[in-house]
Amino acid sequence: MKKLNVGLVGTGRLGMMYADFLANRVPAANLAAVADLVPERAKSCAEKFDVPRWYVGHQDLNDDKGLDAVIVTATTVNHKEIVIDAARKGKPVFCEKPLSLNLADAREIKSVIREAGVFFQMGHMRRFDKGFAAAKREIEAGAIGSPCVFRGSSRDPYRPSLEYLAPESSGGQILDMAIHDIDIARWYMGEIKSVYAVGGILAYPEIEQVGDTDNVVMVLTFANGRLGEIDISRNGVYGYDIRAEVLGSGGAVQAGYLRDTPITLLTKAGVNHDVVPYFPERFADAYVNQLIDFLENLIHDKTPMITLDDGIAGLQVAVAATDSLHKNRIVQVADY
């Protein structure tokens, strides 16, 4: 089997998951180098997964002639610099969502990528989840007739640290969470034309310190006249609850929340079952599938399902929705 040497930039929580997948579950990947701004993190990741080389910062990794591709799981504020550097050095790039924290950066990335002519694939693992993909197939196959209304719901099981939540680094709740629902909405329904978002601090009063929200609901209208709703929450305390539903003229398809085990406990307290705890349990296979797909596209020179333009278009909706939230008005996505 042909293997590619890949380098991974960013070895935080998600980066460590990626390292594990690249080392153990993606047959075409040879994890040849890792990099992190914190030397100890890069080093310990390399040791844990038997990675031959590790670097501090992305530049030396991007310079590494032995690498066939670069995978970016660094914090979002650094995406632009890393991706642009990799592209200028001719490296094919896979970049985790969101592409960047603002549209100016996203558009700058695009112009450099186009100039450099390198391969780029945007990361949105939900499209590679067995469930979300099966729903897409049903919609495409006409099983629900013509799609009319989209409902997406993303609930995290607990509040991240306030440091993480600060909009300077996370981009705010919509960019951090709803970007996934927006990507799925675009995939299932078409382009989004306008959006109205309202939010609040309803579960964790301390979030006020960093100026973010813990719950947001929004209404979408699509360019084709279809309708949508998205709600996101930091207080899905019962588990990691990710749902999507499309109601069409001939039926509906739901991608419901996933149980962690098929165990049901029946006692005087009622009937009880569990919910998958968080994204590593929920989407591990999707991340692996996505990495397999990335390497396959690279090896066989195929266009990725999720392009840079998808990354920018989703970001544009998220930025517009964030602005709607702040200004309490209906906004047109095209104005951003």
Residue 223 CB, nearest distance to its own copies (Å)? 12
What does the angle CA 183 – CA 186 – CA 192 come to, to the nearest 5 degrees?
Answer: 115
How many residues belong to the chain?
336
Candidate residues 247, 292, 305, 312; the one interacting with its own copies per rule CB under 8 A: 247
> By the 8 A CB rule, do 241 and 153 touch?
yes
120 or 132: whose CB is closer to its own copies? 132
Q: Which stretch binds its own copies (CB under 8 A): 77-85, 86-94, 147-155, 180-188?
A: 147-155
Q: Which stretch binds its own copies (CB under 8 A): 113-121, 167-175, 192-200, 289-297?
A: 192-200
Residues 1-20 vs its own copies: string with x where CB under 8 A? x-------------------
Candidate residues 104, 114, 146, 309; the one interacting with its own copies per rule CB under 8 A: 146
Residue ranges in 204-223 that form contacts with its own copies under rule CB under 8 A: 204, 214-219, 221
> By the 8 A CB rule, do 154 and 279 touch?
no
Distances (CA, A) of 131 to 155, 175, 262: 17, 23, 16
Candidate residues 2, 140, 163, 271; the one interacting with its own copies per rule CB under 8 A: 271
* Residue 16 structure tokens: 């460590």
> By the 8 A CB rule, do 119 and 298 touch?
yes
Distance between CA 309 and CA 100 in Å, rounded? Answer: 13
Question: Tokens 């003229």 appear where?
Answer: 249
DSSP state of 292: H
Candidate residues 257, 279, 283, 294; the one interacting with its own copies per rule CB under 8 A: 257
- Phi and psi dihedrals of 331, rounded to 5? -125, 155
Candidate residues 27, 39, 66, 90; the one interacting with its own copies per rule CB under 8 A: 27
Interaction of residue 275 with its own copies, rule CB under 8 A: yes
Peptide bond into 160 cis (omega under 30): no
Interaction of residue 273 with its own copies, rule CB under 8 A: yes
Candidate residues 10, 131, 171, 314; the one interacting with its own copies per rule CB under 8 A: 131
Interaction of residue 117 with its own copies, rule CB under 8 A: no
Interaction of residue 128 with its own copies, rule CB under 8 A: no
Q: Which residues pair with 9 in a beta bridge?
A: 35, 72
Candidate residues 52, 63, 238, 309; the one interacting with its own copies per rule CB under 8 A: 238
